[in-house]
Amino acid sequence: MASARQDPLWLEVTRRIQTMMQEAAMVPSDRLPTETELVARFGVNRHTVRRAFKHLEEKGKIEARQGRGRFVRMPAIQYQIGARPRFSNILADQDLEPSAELLGIGVETAPEAIARALSLRTGSKVVHVERMGLASGNPVSLSSHYLPLGRFPRFIEYYERHHSITRTLQDCGVEDYVRRSTRVTSRLPTSRERSILGVPKHVPLIVTRSCNVDPRGWPIEYGEALMASDRIELEITSPLRSG
């Protein structure tokens, strides 16, 4: 679980700054606290704070302007839509500590749309996992995952051991899986979603629906993720290819 070696202090400060940005719900162009203020708040040397800021600047998250201060450039989190959907890795790349809280797990009859996405017959049973994704302790996403019970009859049992979909699938014999297609839409949150994600009424959710397939191209997971649009944005980088 915890790494044997301690993380450097400046990285810890980086995380605390990001957590602060999330908790204050800061949006692009908002002004960040000054160096000296954070020195006092975190009880570290000015160089340590500067190193943390520099790191955030290089990642494109903030922007420094001499004499004026530092300003938010991007939402706290960029969710990279790549071939491999790994919540933990995406957040770890941004020096955020990923975690997930299980909200519910059980077997259901697949709704028609989900049966179709997974190439199942109508009425087939699926495992439904609902989770809350957190970045450094702050809720950022609410996701539902559906997997064919027929193919993974012991999924729930294994999941309780790992608390990770990727590792549970490995136990079920799926070494790798990739995102096949993702559809993105948006809507306002329900009251339940607002209380779980802690978002104001007028902040829309970004909704992604994606289908993941195993190396042979078989659909093994259908997922729907809700993300607060004031804290997270999607990022799609096209692979370069000649036409």
Partner DNA sequence: GATAATTTGTGCGTATGTATG
Partner DNA sequence: CCATACATACGCACAAATTAT
Q: Taking CB under 7 A as the rule, does residue 30 contact DNA?
A: no
Q: Under a CB-based contact definition with an 8 Å cutoff, are residues 204 and 187 in contact?
A: yes
Give the nearer residue to DNA in terms of CB position, either 121 or 216: 121
**Listed residue (41, 49, 38) closest to 9, CA to CA:** 49
CA distance 240 to 157: 42
Q: Taking CB under 8 A as the rule, does residue 78 contact its own copies?
A: yes
Which of 17, 21, 22, 48 forms a contact with DNA (CB under 7 A)? 48
Which of 23, 24, 28, 34 forms a contact with DNA (CB under 7 A)? 34
Tokens of 124: 């087939």
CA distance 179 to 100: 20
Q: Taking CB under 7 A as the rule, does residue 9 contact DNA?
A: yes
Tokens of 12: 């810890």
Q: Taking CB under 8 A as the rule, does residue 234 contact its own copies?
A: yes
Which of 3, 6, 191, 238 forms a contact with its own copies (CB under 8 A)? 238
Candidates 62-70, 89-97, 127-135, 220-228 — which segment interacts with DNA by CB under 7 A? 62-70
Nearest 5°: CA angle at 77, between 198 and 99? 65
CA distance 180 to 87: 16
The residue behind tokens 């590792």 is: 167
The residue behind tokens 């998250």 is: 61
Q: Taking CB under 8 A as the rule, does residue 86 contact its own copies?
A: no
Q: Taking CB under 7 A as the rule, does residue 35 contact DNA?
A: yes
Give the nearer residue to its own copies in terms of CB position, either 137 or 200: 200
Binding residues (CB under 8 A) for its own copies: these are: 73-75, 78, 81-84, 113, 176, 178-188, 202, 204-206, 215, 217, 229, 233-243
